[in-house]
């Protein structure tokens, strides 16, 4: 399939809607000042073909998309032991997050809600320098250097009272081993990674290749682990709209409040869309539309 014209077509279709609806995340200044009227898309196939269009090289804050890479690092260093303190079920809705954390004794529902990613990060902190390792992993996957946006990381730390609450709440159940402030420093840095669509399409390439690193020929994850990451993305990857994503788009996705969404078509390609204005569920409004257009035009779906 020729993907470049498809991506360009999607860009053209969405052009009139740029900035017309949705809301840019505004809880920290560095995110609030991102212009809404931007849209980028990029993909990379299993056999290394790349296509990209629109603002595909504009860096943005990947935010919760980093939970995908933190999970990957956690599965690499800990294997199945990672799941001793983290569940694998959808969380229902935002309202439930703390209820569930309380009812389930500090064990978060899955690694893609904040509490779950903080728990994964705690494990990473116990095993090494989780900030440096994240940069190494992503720079390798992208084949070019990747950086933290230190302004975003500092802002997250200065305003992250709810995440401090989550971390301390889990620690009160004995489910966080390290100092909460240390864990959150790493977590906030991971969220503050600045990347662009082309980089993220590359960086998620192992997820459509049964775990195989796109450049170095080694398995980042086993085939079985890779399927499981894809399954978690589909059931839990897009906040409280996972059912809606599965219903409308039908691909494993992981979104972030910076407006990025990565998607995987197993054995075919990995893909990243980005547009900063979000819908009420915290997912990129045009990003979702772009993914619907892409699956409609290509017929690709896991179902």
**Least distance from C-beta 299 to a copy of itself, angstroms?**
9
Residue 148 in 3-state DSSP?
strand
Q: Cα separation of 234 and 177, whole Å?
A: 29
- Rule CB under 8 A: say whether 46 interacts with a copy of itself: no
Residue 192 near residue 135, CB atoms below 8 Å:
no
Phi, psi of 180 (to 5 degrees): -60, -40
Q: Cα separation of 175 and 172, whole Å?
A: 7
Catalytic residue list contains 187: yes
Tokens of 209: 């290749």
Q: Cα separation of 116 and 112, whole Å?
A: 6
Catalytic residue list contains 254: no
Residue reference for tokens 């500090």? 106
Catalytic residue list contains 206: no
- # binding residues, a copy of itself (CB under 8 A): 50
Of 53-61, 63-71, 188-196, 233-241, which segment contacts a copy of itself by CB under 8 A?
Answer: 233-241
Catalytic residue list contains 239: yes
Spell out, one character per residue from 137 to 176, where the chain touches a copy of itself: x when CB under 8 A holds, - when not. Answer: ------------------------xx-xxxxxx-xx----
Is 239 marked within a binding site?
A: yes
Out of 11, 66, 183, 239, which one is annotated catalytic?
Answer: 239
Tokens of 111: 């690694």
- Alpha helix (H) ranges present in 205-275? 223-236, 242-248
- Rule CB under 8 A: say whether 215 interacts with a copy of itself: no
Looking at the annotation, which residues are catalytic? 64, 67, 187, 239, 257
- Chain residues binding a copy of itself by CB under 8 A are 87-93, 95-96, 98-100, 102-103, 109-110, 161-162, 164-169, 171-172, 180, 226-228, 230-232, 234-236, 240-244, 246-248, 250, 252, 266, 301-303
């Amino acid at each position: 399939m020729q993907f470049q014209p498809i991506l360009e077509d999607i860009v053209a279709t969405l052009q009139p809607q740029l900035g017309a609806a949705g809301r840019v995340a505004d809880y920290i200044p560095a995110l609030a000042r991102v212009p809404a009227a931007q849209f980028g898309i990029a993909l990379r196939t299993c056999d290394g073909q790349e296509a990209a269009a629109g603002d595909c090289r504009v860096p943005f804050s990947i935010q919760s998309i980093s939970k995908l890479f933190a999970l990957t690092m956690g599965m690499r260093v800990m294997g199945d032991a990672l799941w001793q303190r983290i569940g694998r079920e959808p969380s229902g809705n935002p309202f439930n997050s703390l209820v569930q954390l309380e009812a389930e004794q500090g064990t978060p529902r899955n690694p893609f809600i904040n509490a779950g990613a903080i728990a994964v990060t705690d494990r990473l902190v116990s095993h090494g320098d989780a900030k440096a390792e994240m940069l190494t992993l992503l720079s390798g996957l992208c084949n070019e250097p990747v950086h933290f946006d230190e302004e975003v990381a500092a802002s997250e730390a200065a305003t992250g009272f709810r995440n401090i609450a989550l971390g301390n709440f889990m620690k009160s159940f004995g489910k966080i081993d390290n100092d909460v402030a240390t864990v959150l420093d790493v977590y906030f840095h991971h969220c503050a990674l600045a990347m662009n669509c082309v980089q993220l399409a590359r960086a998620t390439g192992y997820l459509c290749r049964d775990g195989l690193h796109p450049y170095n020929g080694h398995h980042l994850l086993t085939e079985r682990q890779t399927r499981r990451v894809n399954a978690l993305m589909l059931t839990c990857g897009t906040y409280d709209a996972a059912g809606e994503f599965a219903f409308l788009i039908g691909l494993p996705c992981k979104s972030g409040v910076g407006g990025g969404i990565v998607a995987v078509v197993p054995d075919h390609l990995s893909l990243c869309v980005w547009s900063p204005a979000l819908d009420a569920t915290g997912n990129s409004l045009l990003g979702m539309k772009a993914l619907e257009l892409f699956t409609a035009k290509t017929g690709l779906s896991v179902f």
